[in-house]
Amino acid sequence: MAKNTLSFVCQNCGAAYNRWQGKCESCGEWNTLAEEDTTGSVPVSIRSKRKGRTFALESLSGKTQDAPRLSSGMTELDRVTGGGFVRGSVLLVGGDPGIGKSTLLTQATSLLARAGHRVVYISGEEAVAQVRLRAERLGLSDAPVQLAAETSVEDIVSTLSEGAVPRLIVIDSIQTMWTDTVESAPGTVTQVRASAQALIRFAKRTGAAIILVGHVTKDGQIAGPRVVEHMVDAVLSFEGEGSQQFRILRAVKNRFGPTDEIGVFEMTGLGLREVTNPSELFLSERDLGTPGTAVFAGIEGTRPVLVELQALVAPTSLGTPRRAVVGWDPSRLSMVLAVLEAHCGVKLSGHDVYLNVAGGLRIHEPAADLAAAAALVSSLVNAQLPSDAVYFGEISLSGVVRPVAQTPARLKEAAKLGFQRAVLPESARGEAGGDAGLSLNAINSLTTLVAEIAARGSRRGEPSAPAEKNATPARFRRGEG
């Protein structure tokens, strides 16, 4: 008889220790160690030494075929997954509570079931009646989706093995599953890892595609051991603000497609509606004529996206000015502020700075530096930026505006939405070409942009700007503004 082995496992990263301690040395989190029985139920005969079998080895040369995919019927979902669900693949979908994960998967499974495929939806958190109520609210109650409320992995695998192999299986959620092979409570690291491994083996053996729904922590990371993210084929993150109707599905990991694609949805009373032109949606409620707003022409995966950056620079009475940013990297904001002060003479040490990306979109590329700087200076000098202009470019620590990738795609998207001009790096003028239909304002230094915006402020009653185009305004050098 095997002796029970107790250990303390971190519920955040999965590291195991022989004794309890307040802080996990692996991930640095506090009070995440829980006592678990790590003794497996594998028979001794299986654990004993056995003779290994031989298998054939193949060369790198040979015919390769694209993985067969199953289209979900939702264009935005297929874009993020790389064209559809691959047979035998396992996807992990995470998102904040109430963001719409179950709604998205209910719509996807209903479309597949109506197309004639066998689709199974296993809920470990809701009863079958609750899932039916959601489908009725979405107008999908007539879809032939097979439902069940079960948490035992062994019972699920045994049930799904009967009859035709399902094309798609949804497990909502993996934190509620448990298996007999380990003696731990559902939701613990050991149970989540063992349950996920059993479901992955079933998917690889039968060719069924499985979607695992995962909980997220308070900082937005998928809860449970990080090893689960390495075990699955794709990790999708469903993002959005509760006060906004926009929802963004982002690929964090994808073995069968790109990892930088996004799908945009709009939450309505009848479920999630696909947004084929997200730029038009993000700019639908622009504040025209307001200082401190600039339109950024960005790239998300292969799709150009135009979004509005909003900045507010206000005098402060605090000893340490406040810096707040939503939707962008705070470190990039600190760098842009430092370059503005060091090379452009823009003194912001006595001002609070707030920066927001409208629509709930999160920007990760450094091409937003130029748009952020334009919005900050515009708010500082109370100068209105041109409403028909877009901005993109990376700012170096020396104040030079560096080029970014996919300039033609950014300009084409801006022209399609009715913009007339673009502010871009000087070195990207040749790549832009003359077929974009936009008036290009190519700049080489951030000082040029600051002088142009300050000149606009002078026309609205501010002190006069220097005559030289690249000179720094006098009030910035004196620390005023």
Per-residue model confidence (pLDDT) at position 65: 65
Per-residue model confidence (pLDDT) at position 5: 64
Whole-number Å distance between alpha carbons of 7 and 39: 10
Per-residue model confidence (pLDDT) at position 27: 82
Class of domain 281-477: alpha beta
- For residues 445 and 423, the answer to whether their CB atoms sit within 8 Å is no
Q: Where are the domains of the chain?
A: 6-40, 71-276, 281-477
Q: Collapse the DSSP code of 333 into the 3-class scheme (helix H, G, I; strand E, B; otherwise coil) and give the result.
A: helix
Per-residue model confidence (pLDDT) at position 215: 80
Contacts of 400 (CB under 8 A, 6+ apart): 444, 445, 446
Q: 281-477: same fold as 71-276?
A: no
Q: Decide the pairing of beta strands 16-17 and 323-326.
A: unpaired
At residue 420's C-alpha, the angle toward residues 418 and 425, to 5°, is: 125
Q: What residues of the chain score a pLDDT lower than 50? A: 1-2, 41-48, 459-481
Q: Where are the beta strands (DSSP E) in 124-258?
A: 146-149, 168-172, 209-214, 234-239, 246-254
Q: Collapse the DSSP code of 475 into the 3-class scheme (helix H, G, I; strand E, B; otherwise coil) and give the result.
A: helix
Whole-number Å distance between alpha carbons of 212 and 195: 11
Q: State if pTM tops 0.85.
A: no
Q: Which CATH architecture has domain 71-276?
A: 3-Layer(aba) Sandwich (3.40)
Per-residue model confidence (pLDDT) at position 332: 94
Whole-number Å distance between alpha carbons of 105 and 173: 12
Per-residue model confidence (pLDDT) at position 9: 84
Q: Hunting for tokens 């209903």 — which residue is that? A: 110
